[in-house]
Amino acid sequence: MKNYFKNIIAGLALLIASTGNAQEVFDEWKTIDDRTGKPKGIIKIYKKNGELYGDVVSILEEGKENAKCEKCEGDLKDKPVIGMTIIKGAVDNGDGEWKGKYLFDPEQAMTFRCKIWLNPDNPDELKVRGYLAFIYRTQTWQRVKD
């Protein structure tokens, strides 16, 4: 009987652990163009020194797989977009929202302030909002499934 209860408790612990992992922002995400609805790329969101970062892992747009940052200036000029860090130093504000001052769009060569959070109705959707002054745009990214 003791083993039966141990197995139930172990099973519940595994279920809780797997549910918790599924509801984290730290994963790979497929970016979706909010204007066309088409996939653009894969971004890996990770934590470094307690802050959120995001790197371009791949480009999904046909013909742009080896894109370089042509409009960029300085160190990023003509650098490959794959491998580029497009989100830097976002901080968790305590309620599951991450806010930062660096969300970079290589196509426009523009940097925005950002807010990033999981869709409360679907943890496989990441909301990514870029701000320029009081104007903002929100994209919904989809979790990449194995």
Tokens of 76: 């990023």
CATH of the domain at 78: 2.40.128.520
Task: Assess if residue 32 is contained within a domain.
Answer: yes
At 35 the pLDDT is 84
Tokens of 28: 């790979």
Residue 97 is part of which domain span? Answer: 25-143
- pTM for the full predicted model: 0.82
pLDDT digits (tens, 9 = 90+) for 51-107: 999 999 999 999 999 999 999 999 999 999 999 999 999 999 988 999 999 999 999
Task: Assess if residue 111 is contained within a domain.
Answer: yes
DSSP state of 49: T
Query: Coil, strand or helix: which one is 83?
Result: coil
Burial of residue 50 (CB within 10 Å: 0-12, 13-18, 19+) is: exposed
